[in-house]
Amino acid sequence: MRTQVAIIGAGPAGLLLSQMLGLEGIESVLIERQSPEYVRSRIRAGILEASTVELLKQVGVGERLAAESMEHRGIYLQWPGERHHLDFVKLAGRSVSVYGQTEVTKDLMLARERAGQQTYYEATDVELHDVGGDSPYVTFVDASGQPQRLDADAIAGCDGFHGPSRKAMPEAEQRTWEKEYPFAWLGVLADVAPSTDELIYAWHPDGFAMHSMRSSHVSRFYLQVRPDEDINAWSDDRIWAALTTRLGAGQHGWKLETGVVTEKSVLPMRSFVTTPMRHGRLFLAGDAAHIVPPTGAKGLNLAVADVALLARALTTWLRDGSEKLAETYSDTALRRVWRCTHFSWWMTTMLHRHGDDFDAQLQLSQLQRTIASEAASTELAENYAGLPIGY
Ligand code: RFL
Ligand code: PHB
């Protein structure tokens, strides 16, 4: 079997790439390890930058997004006794939108089905071959157990942190940077109306807490826990009690509504960057090339920004015959990757309890400065609301 671009991974990066290439008349085949039901039900990120929203609208998957997303002007930053609003629209001229990654994925899957492009779900033994040469190909076993070979002009590795694409890059040419954090998040989804109009990021002596949301009747919460935390030790009552304390319910007349917990899981936190993001005819995009801790809400947006560059690079190469953008893809993408890596690290280290009491005082001082100085709040706002694509 032959196609122009073999895309490995049907997460937001792979699905969006196939959609953007399809609009330019470039054919692709998607190879995904999981079933469509599994991909559709994965709960992950929830915040879209303005440029992500704009891009999704431009490429024809913005209809439900426009109708159902919630536009937020900013976020609340809080620590015991104080809650402050940062208005991104005033500070940086841009807002963000609440629309779950699960919903983005559903919209993109539907668009791909409508476009009639081929997807192999539940593929196993996915292997990349000859990525440094002119005739790369992918082998895999399809859902019915048939071995398959897919030849392509280019391969896009959109298979997340654990996929095979990054491992197919020559080790001698790769460099990686990694940071593990000494804490994790307990993520909680609950059937309850949000108790806040915009997201709350809270520093607390017991650990970080966050109040996010998915819709007018579904809330999303996160609590800082240990990386080896036993999820079974967190009953619903314990979760609501910790959120009540850390989010400061009962103070200044603010109430936290509670409801039925429908999902809970522990998420590890790491920063990871690999360079370069291209070798020969293999291109990495999204989590396959980099991971950020979720505190800055950057993971999904960064994957979208990579794909915006990669779709253009592959189009100008495969359709128009110019390799120029393919050659600069890695360097251009990595500029934004490192900016978001720094921002995510900064938000994470400012808001999570770690170290000693001296460190806690520095965190509180940094939080106060972020609120008190327009320069400091603008720096947070510009990064959070998102830098232009191609930054
Ligand atoms: P994805 O979404 O991981 O998609 C990769 C796809 O590749 C498939 N795959 C394979 N396919 C074929 N063969 C193989 N051998 C394969 N191995 C893997 C996978 O099944 C999957 O479908 O990467 P992509 O597209 O780059 O998108 C990136 C975003 O998903 C990611 O950055 C964010 O979701 C990160 N993230 C979060 N970011 C936030 O900003 N806020 C969050 O609250 C948030 N929560 C999360 C997250 C990431 C999580 N993961 C990856 C552990 C919660 C979780 C659980
Ligand atoms: C989410 O709603 O899942 C979410 C929002 C903001 C973050 C991380 C996760 O920084």
357, burial (CB in 10 Å: exposed 0-12, middle 13-18, buried 19+): exposed
Among the options 72, 106, 204, 211, which is catalytic?
A: 72
Give the number of the ligand closest to the Cα of residue 7. Answer: 1
Confidence of residue 391 (pLDDT cuts 50, 70, 90): confident
| Nearest-CA residue for atom 53 of ligand 1 | 44
* Rg of the chain on CA atoms, in Å: 21
Give the number of the ligand closest to the Cα of residue 348. Answer: 2
Confidence of residue 100 (pLDDT cuts 50, 70, 90): very high
Q: Which of 44, 48, 210, 263 to mutate to test the pocket of ligand 2 (most atoms within 8 A of CB)?
A: 210
| Nearest-CA residue for atom 44 of ligand 1 | 45
204 Cβ closer than 6 Å to some ligand 2 atom = no
Distance CA 284, CA 160 (A): 9
Global pTM value:
0.96
Q: Is 76 a catalytic residue?
A: no
Q: Which CATH class is domain 2-70+98-178+270-352?
A: alpha beta
Q: What pLDDT shows up at residue 23? A: 96
Residue 185, C-beta contacts closer than 8 angstroms, at least 6 positions apart: 222, 223, 224, 225, 266, 267, 269, 294
Q: What pLDDT shows up at residue 380? A: 98
Q: What secondary structure letter does DSSP report for 388?
A: P
CA of 222 to the centre of ligand 2 (A): 8
Q: What pLDDT shows up at residue 252? A: 79
Q: Is 72 a catalytic residue?
A: yes
Give the number of the ligand closest to the Cα of residue 42. Answer: 1
Q: Where would I find the H helices in 98-155?
A: 101-115
User: pLDDT for 208-247, tens place per residue?
Assistant: 999 999 999 999 999 999 999 999 999 999 999 999 999 9
Domain boundaries, the chain: 2-70+98-178+270-352
Distance CA 56, CA 375 (A): 31
Q: How confident is the prediction for the chain on average, in pLDDT?
A: 96
Q: What pLDDT shows up at residue 340? A: 97
The distance from CA 240 to its chain's CA centroid, rounded to whole angstroms, is 26
Distance CA 182, CA 268 (A): 9
* Residue located via tokens 């989010």: 247
14 Cβ closer than 6 Å to some ligand 2 atom = no
Among the options 222, 298, 329, 352, which is catalytic?
A: 298
User: pLDDT for 41-91, tens place per residue?
Assistant: 888 899 999 999 999 999 999 999 999 999 999 999 999 999 999 999 999
The distance from CA 354 to its chain's CA centroid, rounded to whole angstroms, is 24
